[in-house]
Amino acid sequence: MQPNSIVLIGSGNVATHLGLQLKAKDFPILQVYGHTLASAQVLGEKLGTAFTNDIASVLPQAGYYIFSLKDSALPEVLKSFPAYGGMWLHTSGSLPLSIFEGYTSCYGVLYPLQTFSKDRELDFDSVPLFIEANDDSSFNKLEALAKALSGQVYPLSSDKRKYLHLAAVFACNFTNRLYDIAYNLLEEQDINPQTLLPLIKETAAKIETMQPRDAQTGPAARNDLNILAMHRQLLQDKPELLHIYNLLTQDINSER
Amino acid sequence: MQPNSIVLIGSGNVATHLGLQLKAKDFPILQVYGHTLASAQVLGEKLGTAFTNDIASVLPQAGYYIFSLKDSALPEVLKSFPAYGGMWLHTSGSLPLSIFEGYTSCYGVLYPLQTFSKDRELDFDSVPLFIEANDDSSFNKLEALAKALSGQVYPLSSDKRKYLHLAAVFACNFTNRLYDIAYNLLEEQDINPQTLLPLIKETAAKIETMQPRDAQTGPAARNDLNILAMHRQLLQDKPELLHIYNLLTQDINSER
C-alpha cells in the first residue's frame, strides 16, 4: 500500500475540486473511477492520472479511497466494490458514517462545506472540512489528510452533519434560487440583472461583520404595508412567486 | 441659491450613506433634517453640518433637497414642506416620481440599489443609481449629481423601478432571511454558524461569472428524493421552515 496515495471514486464537481487540491498538495492520485468512461477521462486527464469506469479495474494499493458520488449511487457502488485496504471516505453531507459498516475497518467522512462547479476556480484552502471516522486511529489518519487540504477542519458527527447540510441548502441552494427569481423579474422588464450584483455581494459580505438577524432590512422588516401590497400586486400573475413572497415576508415579520 | 448645495431630509441608513458620499465628493451639505432631534444630530455631527427636526427651520437656499424617509412618511412631510426652489429628489425604490407633482417644478428620483447599514462602510462609487426626473432640464441636473456620486448611473421609469425594488427584496432581504434561518439551524446544534461564510460568499461570487440558473446545485436541483425526505424529517417540528423548504424545493424542481 502507498499510504498517501489516492483513488477517486467519482468524477463530478466535488471529486474534481478535491482532486485538484489533492494534486496541488502533492498527494499521488493513482486513478479516477467514473460512472461513464467519458467523465472519468475528463477528470483523469485534468489530474494527469489513470481512469476507468470498471469497478473491477480499480487499483488495490491506495491509501485512501474517496467516494464522491451521488448519495443515491453510493450504496450500490459499495456492494460491488472490492474488499481493499486503505481508508474509505465519502464526501456527502447527508449520508451517515455507518454506510461503510461491514465493508471495511478503516473509514470516515470528509464533508467539504462549499458549492462546487467544475469550471470555476476556488480557494480550497479556506473550504471548511467536517470530518468523522470509525475510531481514533482512523480519525487521526483522516485529520492528517484534511489538514493538508484546508486550514478549516472540524470534527462533526453524522447526526449533526445532516443539519449542517440542511443549513447549507437554505444558505446556498435556496439563496441561489432567489437570485434566479430576481434575475427573471428584471429580464422581463428589460433591466440588466447584473445591476443586482453589488447588492448581492454586499448582502453576503455584511454578515461577515453582523449577525443576519441584525442585518435584516426591507419592507417586510419595517412592516411597510403599502409596499408589501404593491409588491403583491406586481406578482399577481405569478402565483408561485407570490406564495414565496408571502411566506418569507410573514417569516421575517414574525421575527421582529 | 447655491447650485450644488444639499439639504438632507432624513437621517436614516440611506441618508447617512448618501450624505457621507456627498461630503466625500465635496458637495456642501447645508443641513440635515431628522424626524427626531437626536437622529438629526447624529448625522449632522457625522457630516459636520447643521441639523434640525423642525420643518419650518429647513434652510431655503439649497440646490438639492434630498428626501430619504420611510415611504409612508414622505407624503406627510411634503404637505408641510415650504415651497422652496432647488431640485427635490427622493431615494425610494417604490414611490413614484409623481409624488412631487404640485409641490415643485424641478424634481426627480435617485434610487441607490444597495443595502445600507449605518455602521458599515461601503464603496458608494460602485452603487448603481437609478434616476428619473420630470423633464429634460431636471434630468440633466440630476444626472450630473448622480454621476459625481457613482460610476453606475441608469435612467429608469417609476413603473420599472417598482420591479427593481421587488427583485432587490428577493435578492437581498429574503436572501438575508435564509442566512438567518441557516444560522439558527446551526446554533441549535452547537455548530459555529460562521463556518457557512465561505459557502455564502462563493454562492454570491459565482453569479458574477455564471447565470444563477446555471449555478443551481443541491438536492432539489438533482431531485434527490432521499435527501429531500430526510430534510423534511429534520424540519418536522418547525412547520414554517418546512413550508419554506417545500416551496423553494418545488420551485427549483419546476425549473429543471
Decide if A103 touches B, using CB distance below 8 A: no
Over residues B50-75, mean pLDDT = 96
CA distance B160 to chain A (A): 7
| Whether A120 contacts A97, CB under 8 Å | no
**Per-residue pLDDT reduced to its tens digit, A20-70:** 999 999 999 999 999 999 999 999 999 999 999 999 999 999 999 999 998
Question: Which residue in the block uniquely carries the three cell numbers 427549483?
Answer: B252
| Whether A130 contacts A168, CB under 8 Å | no
pLDDT at B256 over 80: no
Over residues B134-162, mean pLDDT = 98
Grid cell listed for A126: 479556506
| Whether B1 contacts B84, CB under 8 Å | no
Reduced to 3 states (helix: H, G, I; strand: E, B; else coil), residue A51 is strand
Over residues A231-242, mean pLDDT = 97
Q: How many CB pairs under 8 A join A and B?
A: 317
Instruction: Give Rg (Cα) of chain B.
Output: 22
Tell me the C-alpha distance between A76 and B34, whole Å.
Answer: 67
Residues 6+ apart with CB under 8 A from B55: B33, B77, B80, B81, B82
Q: A229-242 b/e with 16+ CB inside 10 Å = b?
A: ebbeebbeeeeebb
pLDDT at B209 over 80: yes
Tell me the C-alpha distance between B172 and B177, whole Å.
Answer: 9
Q: Tell me what ipTM this predicted complex has.
A: 0.94
Write down the mean pLDDT value for chain A.
Answer: 96
Percent with pLDDT over 90 in chain A: 91
Note whether B207 contacts A200, CB cutoff 8 Å: yes
Q: A86-107 b/e with 16+ CB inside 10 Å = b?
A: bbbbbbbbbbbbebbeeebebb
Instruction: Among B113, B160, B248, select the one facing A199 at the smallest CB separation.
Output: B113
Note whether B215 contacts A174, CB cutoff 8 Å: no
- Identify the bridge partners of residue B130 per DSSP, sorted by sequence position: B111, B154
Query: What pLDDT is recorded for position A255?
Result: 79
| Whether A10 contacts A33, CB under 8 Å | yes
**Per-residue pLDDT reduced to its tens digit, A96-111:** 999 999 999 999 999 9
Q: pLDDT-derived band of residue B2, with 50, 70 and 90 as boundaries?
A: confident
pLDDT at A245 over 80: yes
Write down the mean pLDDT value for chain B.
Answer: 96
Decide if B222 touches A, using CB distance below 8 A: yes
Q: Burial level of B140, CB count in 10 A (0-12/13-18/19+)?
A: exposed
**Per-residue pLDDT reduced to its tens digit, A130-153:** 999 999 999 999 999 999 999 999
**Per-residue pLDDT reduced to its tens digit, A175-223:** 999 999 999 999 999 999 999 999 999 999 999 999 999 999 899 998 8
Decide if A173 touches B, using CB distance below 8 A: yes
